Chain A
Amino acid sequence: MFDELLLTVLLTSVPLILAATGELVVERSGVLNLGVEGMMLMGAVAAFGAASLSGNPYIGIVGGGLAGMAVAGVFALFVLGLATNQVATGLALTIFGTGLSGLIGAPLVGQAIDGLPSMTLPLLSDIPLIGVFFQLDIMAYLSILIVALTSIFLMRSRAGLILRSVGINHDSAHALGYNVLQVRFFAILFGGFMAGLGGAYLPLVLTPHWAEGMTAGRGWIALALVVFASWQPWRVSIGAVLFGGVTIMQLAGQARGWTIPAQFLSMMPYLATIVVLVTISGRGRNVFGAPMHLGKRFFMTR
């Protein structure tokens, strides 16, 4: 019983892990992309459409990622090419993505697809409790791999160091001769691809449907999650399970007769994020390696 509940929590956290890991890299490079919700919706509708047309959910994965990356490319064009305000551009992306996914998805409403099969690993999945970690699907396994790779990339590789330094101070990075715009461009594309994958997970695994606005705020939770994790990849995966657990526990709590209003449970991710923001901002020193130039515009002056 508990196993199955834990499995449901894990599945719910996968889209959050995917989207938040992408956004984490973007923010580490100093760009705040508030378009996660829009990119996830584009990923969801593209994944559903691709899977429905081709009859193959694996094509849906690719389609979702690419759709997220495509709209992220538009975002990059504006915030990097034209140095537009990142906050407003990100919002524009969310509004645009919500609208476009609704238009693309209008003929898809009511159709159903075959979702991704779960890939149960023999032996390992029989271990009590821990076993559920080996009853997931390919995207869930990939998400853990991506978190690991992202962590290694950011913390251990030279390219990751450059990316972080661009986020901490783009003027110094520029003065050192790094191509700020190029670094950010790739970071944004990666973020879009990941958000697209996160969106794709909804129709491919969680519920094999397209419904307008089906991400239902998961993009915003992913944004909160990045801050909650204070820009550390592994903390994103832990936070995602916590935030996903909150969603599931309000439903399980009802079945078990808990009396705490579901709304207060739903508030937790947002309140926790504010608390984390206050804690890390109040220190004065940048102990967490937070991207200090997050959201600031960069102009080529030379």
Chain B
Amino acid sequence: MFILKPRKSVPLSLTLLVPVVAIALTLLMGGLIFGFLGYNPVEALYEFFVAPLSRPDQIGNLLVKACPLIIIGTGLVFCYRANVWNIGAEGQLVLGAMGAGWLALSFPDAQSPLFIFAMSVAAMVAGGLWGAIPALLKIRFRTNEILVSLMLTYVAALLLDWIVRGPWRDPMSFGFPLTKTYPDAGLIPALILPGIGRLGQLHWGVVFAFIIAACGWFYLARMLSGYQIKLMGDAPRAGRFAGFSQSYNTMAVLVISGALAGLAGMIEVSANIGQLQPNVSFGYGFTAIIVAFLARLNPLAVIVAGLVVALAELGGDTAQISMGIPKVVTGIFKGILLFMLLAGETLTRYELVRVVRIKAHQTPAQQEES
């Protein structure tokens, strides 16, 4: 039989190879599934991963799709490096959208160009507070942050649903669950590229996504407190000896990732929708988990990973238009990709070693079992 044995050192080539092999395997297996179900696998892969990029404006759309994934993914990198399992980014995103929405709807006459930054702050506070709940419960009651953050995601979605159907509904929406549209100062303008002009739906939020990822990288790689996060994740006991607080660390990473998810929610609404509606996200909070893994918990790599995953999302639309398959089918690629990445992670950290099973070593209980 085989057992997993920790590697003494991880060669760099392996670190780089894993995502590439994972993507290749995903394409291969996704294609096999399509072929097996009677679709033309080559056409499916073409529609998913090549056709979306066949026009320049689609490059802009790709960046727009990647924007929330990059921002949320950067936040999640903080959590996962610290070994804190926040899977409630989707809920934190929703709260962020509501926080910013509250400001935008409270000041319908806002004119100041700084208004959008005030909305960003509101979104980050709201998302951060929502992220602080599982942290607080974990610190105080030792509850499992995975389950709490997951439950809170659904609470957040229902809260938004209620607020856009009830208190915040635009009286002129004729009964539809929509708020008033934001004032112009609360909208994120399109990004006009010099010499090219508008590129699809490209907006300024994308620029901030890149900046945030870069800042995240700098913080984690170059700052002492960034190192602290990683140390507490990898070796909590060593961290405590070094004088770092586990509670502080848990709170910090959950608030950071909550705030970033909230910001992503605000950008998504202000750039693409312009008002609150029952659904402001299409699972970005969950998809970003894949992005964080694909990036191997490196914020700079999150940019690339975000683009790769966004390509699959965009491909879902293209495939839907040209092949008539439902959009959720993108999940096949996303799911397999995550599977492959997780397997790759194990195989970089550990090596499979063959051991000979010696019957005599079995305990009586084990023999009874078998």
Contacts and interface: CB of A to CB of B under 8 A. Distances in A.
Interface of A: 32, 34, 38, 74, 78, 82-85, 87-89, 91-100, 102-104, 106, 162, 176-179, 182, 212-213, 217, 220, 223-224, 227, 261, 263-264, 266-267, 270-271, 273-274, 277-278, 281-282, 294-295, 299-302
Interface stretch (B148-156, B168-176, B212-220): B148-156
B338 interface: yes
Interface in B320-335: 324-335
Contact of A261 (B137, B166, B342): B166
For the complex of A and B, list the 10 residue pairs with the smallest distance between their C-beta atoms, beginning with the closest: A96-B335, A99-B331, A177-B363, A92-B338, A263-B162, A102-B328, A84-B342, A99-B332, A95-B335, A270-B151
Interface stretch (B98-106, B224-232, B263-271, B343-351): B343-351
A32 B145 CA distance: 13
B279 interface: no
B334 A95 contact: yes
A180 to B, nearest CB: 11
A95 B363 contact: no
B137 A277 contact: yes
Contact of A84 (B144, B286, B345): B345
A261 B143 CA distance: 29
Contacts of A182: 369
A68 B201 CA distance: 40
B256 interface: no
B289 interface: yes
A256 to B, nearest CB: 19
B364 interface: yes
B329 A95 contact: no
Contacts of A271: 151, 155
B143 A278 contact: yes
Contacts of B327: 102
B146 interface: yes
Contact of A100 (B162, B332, B346): B332
Contact of A82 (B143, B338, B346): B346
Contact size class for B?
35 or more
Given A88-B289, A295-B146, A278 B334 contact: no
B338 A91 contact: yes
Given A84-B346, A177-B365, A277 B146 contact: no
A96 B330 CA distance: 9
Contact of B339 (A87, A92, A162, A278): A92
Given A177-B365, A263-B158, A277-B143, A99 B325 contact: no
B27 to A, nearest CB: 15
B37 A104 contact: yes
B162 A98 contact: no
Given A78-B342, A273-B151, 11 more contacts: A82-B342, A84-B346, A87-B85, A92-B290, A95-B287, A99-B335, A100-B329, A103-B326, A178-B366, A182-B369, A263-B165
Contacts of B43: none
B328 A274 contact: no
Contacts of A273: 147, 151
